[in-house]
Amino acid sequence: MEIIDKLVAIKGIGNWTAQMLMIFNLGKIDIFPLTDFSLNKHYAIFKKTPLPLSVAQLAKASSQWKPYRSVAAWYLWHYK
């Protein structure tokens, strides 16, 4: 994604930070930060699967929520 490429070119900004900026500052609704530990943990709890899930497993699971993956991420962050 072009925005992420431009942001990670800035020293100190990585993929996760760029994705958070896109979700919370730019209002992008189809971003799912696959390396976010909390999302991984809460998805595993929600689906009752063992931790940790691989990035590939989480990517496959999140594909069902396109084009609203940011919304799904928000709900998973708040899932208890």
Query: pLDDT tens digits, residue range 32-73?
Result: 999 999 999 999 999 999 988 999 999 999 999 999 999 999
Residue 6 pLDDT > 80: yes
What is the model's pTM? Answer: 0.89
Q: Which residues are catalytic?
A: 36
Range 67-80 average pLDDT: 96
Topology classification of domain 2-77: Endonuclease Iii, domain 2 (1.10.1670)
Span 7-15, mean pLDDT? 96
Q: Are 27 and 41 in contact (CB under 8 A)?
A: no
CB burial string 22-48: b at 16+ within 10 A, e below: bbeeeeeebbbbbebeebbebbbeeee
Domain ranges of the chain: 2-77
